A and B are shown apart, each in its own frame.
Chain A
Amino acid sequence: MQILAIDTSNQSLGVALVRDNEIVGEIVTNIAKNHSVRLMPAIDYLMKELTITPEQLDMIAVAKGPGSYTGVRIGLTTAKTLAWSLNIPIVGVSSLEILAYRARFSNSLICPFFDARRGLVYTGLYEAKEDKLMLVEEEQNTLLSDWLEHLIATKKKVIFLSPDIEKHAEIIKEKMGEYAEIPEIAYHIAKPSDLAIAAFDKEIDDTHTLTPNYLRLAEAEVNWLKAQKEKQNG
């Protein structure tokens, strides 16, 4: 079973090739540079380096967001088209879950999050059980301050993971005190090999209907819904 994993949902760009739970190769960059330009060349490079041809792939795993809308779509479009044209299964994995994997040996609750601007974060809560991750609280787009209030009320230790951790570490420590664990900086970037491993246990998605996990309506839709409501209320 050879899985090609693709993650362009946030700033880091990741491509991995995993064969039966063994990481054969992995490319990760963490720079603010164009995913659209760099993704296919990265896949091409990795595959050539490992002397694997596209026909030898058995499955595609893809990070389906949340994250940058455009980034998520670049990864998903590439992954879906590869899966369709090679006629192999595809599995989409939440970008938050992929990041949570970096703490899968921890006994604490795992809180991955991405900055969503204006005080908001995309986040959720996971827990590791025998190396597998369980979703404890639904993924959501929420105010970080509200979310922290909610977490402190559980009185459990929470490990925080985020590529945007430096921006928010202060407030997390202030609100959560001894309940907050923040690992060193190297653990805050998702690994595409974790994506492949996570995909291994998941149900196959339908290639055509697999869509991004935006966790948020488009702004135009929000405004439109608001206008409809106002109209209804007179």
Chain B
Amino acid sequence: MSDTYILGIETSCDETAVAIIKNGREIISNVVASQIDSHKRFGGVVPEIASRHHVEQITLVLEEAFNESGLNWNDIDAIAVTEGPGLVGALLIGVNAAKALAYAKNKPLVGVHHIAGHIYANRLEEEFQFPLLALIVSGGHTELVLMREHGHYEVIGETRDDAAGEAYDKVARMLHLPYPGGPHIDRLAARGEVSIDFPRAWLEEDSFDFSFSGLKSAVINKIHNAKQKGESLKEEDIAASFQASVIDVLATKTVKAAKQYQVKQVIVAGGVAANKGLREELEAKFTETDIPLLIPPLKLCTDNAAMIAAAGTINYQQGKRSGLELNANPSLQL
């Protein structure tokens, strides 16, 4: 069988990204233009600014990724693009660029779910073994997804309120840490002590759902109360205690689900997968089991288009196609 080359486009938040992937597993080129410096001054991603940057970057990033690949257009089998979820104005840039490209070069168009992309980032490192459990943790998502085969996703647990990444950003803001706050908390936590007993939301006995709003409020209250009483809390200890609470719930539920569904592999995906504390805790917990744990290299944890092309390869091979009427869908279901 001949090789399959998919060009992927990702613009769901604040990265303009294009990549070309061979056979769903091998990165041929992978270009990411990050806007993070532009959003820092606003303390978070401003959707209108993100859209403005995407339209300025899109053809530049396309050109760089295509030239870097050394391929001809004849080699490319299909154009894959994130159709959702994400910021609608940002998604629209990728979707419309993908449609124009598919039309101009007469290539099939394949819409991809952003989270499917995060999961498939792992397949660039190691082949999947089914059934497989994926823990997705990012600014917008906290989910446990069961996969029994390629391209099929069963959400067995999700957050009922805030995503883990959201809680990180909120707490980071309380501690006056610069945006994005996650990595700063992770760094502070490594130097602190778990001295404060923050709550852990286990929810019902048999549930794999998450909840982080209670924890978020508890941290905010703790800081407020300490301030009012004139007590000084060590920022490192707040970070360590908060992070311990998040990680404890994430890791415990992931292990429990992995055992219950007798999975052959556990995958961690999404921006928060870059978190050192989380990686260490999961690694420790899973060495006690005989289930292999995959965590993508840092570069593939954050948003990129290699993952979209990788997930798009499966959609393409399974015969899934999108029409020229494809639209951005900010609340697309997995």
Q: Is the CB of B96 within 8 A of A218?
A: no
Q: A73-B89, A224-B42 are in contact. Are A81 and B97 (CB under 8 A)?
A: yes
Residues of A within 8 A of B95 (CB): 36
Count of chain B residues with a beta carbon within 8 Å of a chain A beta carbon: 34
- The A-contacting residues of B in range 90-126, CB under 8 angstroms, are 92-93, 95-97, 99-101, 103-106
- Tell whether A78 is near chain B: CB-to-CB under 8 Å: yes
A212-225 CB contact bits vs B (8 Å, 1 = yes)?
10100011110010
Complex Cα distance, B50 from A218, in Å, reads: 10
Which of the residues B46, B63, B89 comes within 8 Å of A220, measured between beta carbons?
B46
Q: Is the CB of A77 within 8 A of B55?
A: yes
Q: A44-B324, A80-B58, A84-B62 are in contact. Are A224 and B100 (CB under 8 A)?
A: no
Closest to A88 in B: B104
- Tell whether B52 is near chain A: CB-to-CB under 8 Å: yes
A55-82 CB contact bits vs B (8 Å, 1 = yes)?
0000000000000011001101111111
B201-236 CB contact bits vs A (8 Å, 1 = yes)?
000000000000000000000000000000000000
Q: Is the CB of A40 within 8 A of B103?
A: yes
Complex Cα distance, B97 from A207, in Å, reads: 13
Q: Is the CB of A69 within 8 A of B62?
A: no
Complex Cα distance, B323 from A145, in Å, reads: 46
- Tell whether A34 is near chain B: CB-to-CB under 8 Å: yes
Complex Cα distance, B99 from A74, in Å, reads: 11
Complex Cα distance, B99 from A43, in Å, reads: 11
For the side of the interface on A, what is the size category?
A: 35 or more
Complex Cα distance, B60 from A208, in Å, reads: 6
Q: Please count the residue pairs between chain A and chain B whose beta carbons lie under 8 angstroms apart in the complex.
A: 103
Complex Cα distance, B63 from A85, in Å, reads: 9
Give the dominant DSSP class at B's interface: helix
B54-72 CB contact bits vs A (8 Å, 1 = yes)?
1110111011000000000
Q: Is the CB of B48 within 8 A of A74?
A: no
- Tell whether A38 is near chain B: CB-to-CB under 8 Å: yes
- The B-contacting residues of A in range 192-230, CB under 8 angstroms, are 207-209, 211-212, 214, 218-221, 224
Q: A220-B42, A221-B49 are in contact. Are A80 and B59 (CB under 8 A)?
A: yes
Residues of B within 8 A of A74 (CB): 92, 96
A111-149 CB contact bits vs B (8 Å, 1 = yes)?
000000000000000000000000000000000000000
Give the dominant DSSP class at A's interface: helix
Q: Within the complex, what minimum Cβ distance (angstroms) separates B68 from chain A?
A: 15
Which of the residues B48, B92, B101 comes within 8 Å of A36, measured between beta carbons?
B92
Q: Is the CB of A208 within 8 A of B63?
A: yes
B184-198 CB contact bits vs A (8 Å, 1 = yes)?
000000000000000
Q: Is the CB of B56 within 8 A of A81?
A: no
Q: Within the complex, what minimum Cβ distance (angstroms) separates B108 from chain A?
A: 14
Q: Is the CB of A85 within 8 A of B51?
A: no
Complex Cα distance, B49 from A74, in Å, reads: 15
Residues of A within 8 A of B63 (CB): 84, 208
- Tell whether B136 is near chain A: CB-to-CB under 8 Å: no
- Tell whether B327 is near chain A: CB-to-CB under 8 Å: yes
Q: Is the CB of B51 within 8 A of A73?
A: yes
Residues of A within 8 A of B100 (CB): 40, 77-79, 81-82, 85
Q: Is the CB of A37 within 8 A of B59?
A: no
Residues of B within 8 A of A39 (CB): 96
Q: A37-B325, A38-B325 are in contact. Are A208 and B59 (CB under 8 A)?
A: yes
- Tell whether B176 is near chain A: CB-to-CB under 8 Å: no
Q: Within the complex, what minimum Cβ distance (angstroms) separates B29 from chain A?
A: 16
- Tell whether A177 is near chain B: CB-to-CB under 8 Å: no
Closest to B59 in A: A84
- Tell whether A183 is near chain B: CB-to-CB under 8 Å: no
Closest to A76 in B: B55
Closest to B102 in A: A40
- The B-contacting residues of A in range 160-198, CB under 8 angstroms, are none
Complex Cα distance, B49 from A6, in Å, reads: 24
Closest to A211 in B: B56
Closest to B52 in A: A218
Complex Cα distance, B59 from A40, in Å, reads: 18
30 contacts between A and B (CB under 8 A): A34-B327, A40-B100, A40-B324, A41-B323, A43-B103, A44-B103, A54-B103, A54-B106, A70-B92, A73-B54, A73-B55, A73-B92, A74-B96, A77-B58, A77-B92, A77-B93, A77-B97, A78-B97, A78-B99, A81-B59, A82-B103, A84-B59, A85-B101, A207-B59, A211-B55, A211-B56, A212-B52, A218-B46, A219-B48, A221-B49
